[in-house]
Amino acid sequence: SALNAQLATYYKISDAINLSLNIAYKSRFATMKDRYSYRNGTALPNPDLKSETALNLELGSAIEIADRLNFRPELFYSRLNNTIQMVSNVQGDLSQMLNTGESVFKGIDISIVYQPLSVLNIYAAYSYIQRKNISNPDILFTDVPDNKLFASVDYTIAKKIIFNLSGEYDS
């Protein structure tokens, strides 16, 4: 069983600026793959893996800078308990999904959306995330980049035909 709850509030400062605050308590059950997979011979199963819980806080805004130009900054903070994490070299060179204790994830997301024409949409986003294992600082998170930059351009050729060009950079 799991208890998941979310509380959100939205405030319109002006026609051009909206603020939001979200607080959520969420659970992540360990999947069958997390518990029982040998991951093609590279891992050991862990049927005793517990569920992960997190308290998430997010403060965001949507700002209309100019006509058809929007800026969306967001700050986030998450505190996890029973963090589910792949740990390397548990037995020889085999890894295993383990509950590694408490962790903190925090960062920022910034995006810009520009629509100079009704058929053209330009989108750019930057994300920074800092993840720290509080209980076991020697076990590092390696599956999500610290910095991520994404950009795309959508051009609508016909009602149901859209040309999309996108790119991503991860560090």
Digit-coded pLDDT (tens) for 110-136: 999 999 999 999 999 999 999 999 999
pLDDT in tens, 130-155: 999 999 999 888 888 999 999 999 99
pTM above 0.85, yes or no: yes
Radius of gyration of the chain (CA): 20
Q: Strands 94-99 and 43-44, how do they pair?
A: parallel
How many CB atoms lie under 10 A from the CB of residue 74? 17
Is the pLDDT at 44 greater than 90, yes or no? yes
State the pLDDT at residue 85. Answer: 93
CA distances from 89 to 4, 5, 45, 86, 94 (A): 34, 36, 13, 10, 5
Q: Tell me: pLDDT of 22 over 90.
A: yes
Q: What pLDDT does 3 receive?
A: 85
